[in-house]
Amino acid sequence: MAVHAFRQLRDFLNSQVIGQPELVEHLLIALLADGHLLVEGPPGLAKTRAVNALAKGIEADFHRIQFTPDLLPADLTGTDIYRPETGEFKFQRGPLFHHLVLADEINRAPAKVQSALLEAMAERQITVGKRTYPLPALFTVMATQNPIEQEGTYPLPEAQLDRFLLHLELDYPDAETEQQILRLTRNESIQGESQMPQPLSQNAIFAARQACLSLHMEDAVEHYLVQLIMATRKPQAYDDKLASWIDFGVSPRASIALERCARARAWLLGREFVTPEDIAAMAHNVLRHRLILSYQAEADGISANQVLDKILELVPAP
């Protein structure tokens, strides 16, 4: 029954966001695996629309934050406001206290703002002055960055990149999909946006997360997952060329993320067990942003995707 509800939600999102099934699937996986999503792609690919549609499909509120170089940490977290009628300071909550937060063009904000967001993503809390405030139990950040424009941007530090469960790369839709988008926007202008029949409750989401964690995973499949991680840390054991491409492998947080995402994918597909295909299917989006490549890889024009292709080729699946 719970899987059916999530499939209905997926169908609704696909009807609202044409031509981005991978974005829709990974939004649901991030929701099930209780993690954050970094989306990289050109402007106008319905990233904001996708999160807005997700907020309509579940019992959650949504807030979009446009990141700019003059943004301050208090613009995210909130701040203490003086009330002259009482002579006291009262905390005014910021946009991070919403369930779904879209951090648009995240790499345009300076280090202090990144630090405030990092605490929220990692600890599910924010600190203002001497006080710490917990964030909602359901809290997901979807951040976007534009790969085309790099002027006035601040590259995300490795520690913050590691906090993102998934890194998704989007591309433009094909001609047929583009026509479908035109028809959808035309129909909405005439009829208005369609509504999700029955929004998913937060309790249903938490129950689905527990169901994902209870899926069966064979020791051999778990061993395969760990070997993929080890191949990023000790690539010389697999291939000399691979070793020359990697400076630093992925963290234990990557292992946890890969397992959770593979479980979420298997659950969405209606299975009661995790397969090596689930792990391989999630490997690129979970590990891509966590790999630190060498100067040799850059000189050879090797991308993180190509390194992961090589690892999946070298590590035998059970």
How does pLDDT run across 144-166, given as a tens digit for each residue? 887 665 655 667 777 778 889 99
Give the DSSP per-residue string, the chain.
-HHHHHHHHHHHHHHHSTT-HHHHHHHHHHHHTT--EEEE--TTSSHHHHHHHHHHHBT--EEEEE--TT--HHHHHEEEEEETTTTEEEEEE-GGGSSEEEEETGGGS-HHHHHHHHHHHHHSEEEETTEEEEPPSS-EEEEEE-SS--TT--PPPHHHHTT-SEEEE-----HHHHHHHHHHHHHHHHH-----SSPBPHHHHHHHHHHHHTSB--HHHHHHHHHHHHHHH-GGGT-HHHHHHEEE---HHHHHHHHHHHHHHHHHTT-SB--HHHHHHHHHHHHGGG-EE-HHHHHHT--HHHHHHHHHHHSPP-
pLDDT bracket for residue 119 (50, 70, 90) = confident
pLDDT of residue 152: 55
17-31, 89-103, 148-162, 250-264: which has the highest mean pLDDT? 250-264
pLDDT of residue 214: 93
pLDDT of residue 192: 54
Mean pLDDT of 204-222: 94
Residue 44: pLDDT over 80: no
Taking the C-alpha atoms of residue 318 and residue 299, their distance in angstroms, rounded to an integer, is 34
Lookup: tokens for 142: 């979807």
Residue 7: pLDDT over 90: no
% of the chain beyond a pLDDT of 70: 94
Question: How far apart, in Å, do the first and last CA atoms of the chain sit?
Answer: 31
Residue 235: pLDDT over 80: yes
Phi, psi of 125, deg, nearest 5: -155, 165
Residues pairing with 39 in the sheet: 144, 168
Domains of the chain, start order:
2-185 (3.40.50.300), 215-314 (1.10.8.80)
**Rounded mean pLDDT of the chain?**
87
Lookup: tokens for 14: 């696909």
Q: Which residues of 42-58 are buried (b: 16+ CB within 10 A; e: fewer)?
A: eeebbbebbbbbbbbbb
pLDDT bracket for residue 110 (50, 70, 90) = confident
% of the chain beyond a pLDDT of 90: 39
Taking the C-alpha atoms of residue 233 and residue 235, their distance in angstroms, rounded to an integer, is 6
Which range among 17-21, 97-101, 270-274 shows the weakest confidence by mean pLDDT?
17-21
